[in-house]
Structure 1
Amino acid sequence: MTAELPPPGPDHFAARRTLWWARGPNEPTPTESTPSRQRLEILLQRDTDEAWDAGLNKVWNGLVSGARLKKRLPLSTVIKILQAGWIRDGTWPKGGVAPDPDDVLEELPQDAEFAVLSTTTPDYTSRVTSPPSGIVEGATGGNRTLQAQANTTTLDSMDGRHRGE
């Protein structure tokens, strides 16, 4: 199934997002609880070397090596297996929790100018505003100069000292 998409920009993004969220023709069926999956869940509840050696290590090694699972597992179970392995190899601290995300977007005013980056086309900006007047960037010799309105500060790139001019 191919869809006619608008040119790159906010409408293109909205159309792609709509297609992404639409149910596909090959919607996966829910995973059924099998005896082996129930055994795996029991092993995940125990935090012992015996549980690791009884099968968790094999599943974890398969996951991190890129092997395909023989039977489907819920994502929550896969995450528990990966985390158990990361704790064992020292990648994840025992008792550690993931930090809150720091990439939450703030609400922009409706009339705000913005640039939309596209990951699907070489034309990666759809709308860009120019910088405020009076701000000019330039490079001269070994120095980087940023002139902001009437104030000029030069950063000597060799030793990092600031000097006003």
Structure 2
Amino acid sequence: MKVGFIGLGTMGGNAAKNIIRAGVETFVFDLRREAATDHLSMGATWVDSQREMISHVDCVVSMLFGPPHLDAVLNSSEGLLSGDCRGKLWIDMTTSSPRFMRDLIKPFVSVDVIDASVIPSIPSANINATTFMIAEKASDLIRGREPLPATKVDYYRANTDGNHDHAVGS
């Protein structure tokens, strides 16, 4: 499986390095090409746009600063949605709300989407542990384990009653 990673900032950059270290063929994109220097030296391939990325990969992981940045990655003239997304898997790790994600993924008719928001501020005995908030269909989560091997982490499942945007503990 080929994985694309969009967003190589403090958290995304390290997450992408872990994917590369795991031996997964990885394509990278960031608004600042210099953010990819280490990734490229580790064997990742640079792409010039999100649209170009979707044509090379089976799975795209995005880890961005917030919802406006995520919207731009998807909907800009060179965004993911401007390319052929059919049969692709998209794992978004941008911290956002379930309501925002529900609205955002409506155009993804033929794409499996996993919303796995990252929250670094939830207290933990391990200060280096990142918390992932995952909203998924079981089949998408299972499929997502191929490019991103499962690790032992605590998780929080979003309330699924449709009326609330909050998570419950694992």
What is the TM-score normalised by the length of structure 1?
Answer: 0.20
**Which has more strand, going by share of residues?**
2
- The higher relative CO (CA closer than 8 Å, separation ≥ 6) is in 2
Q: Who wins on radius of gyration, i.e. which is larger?
A: 1
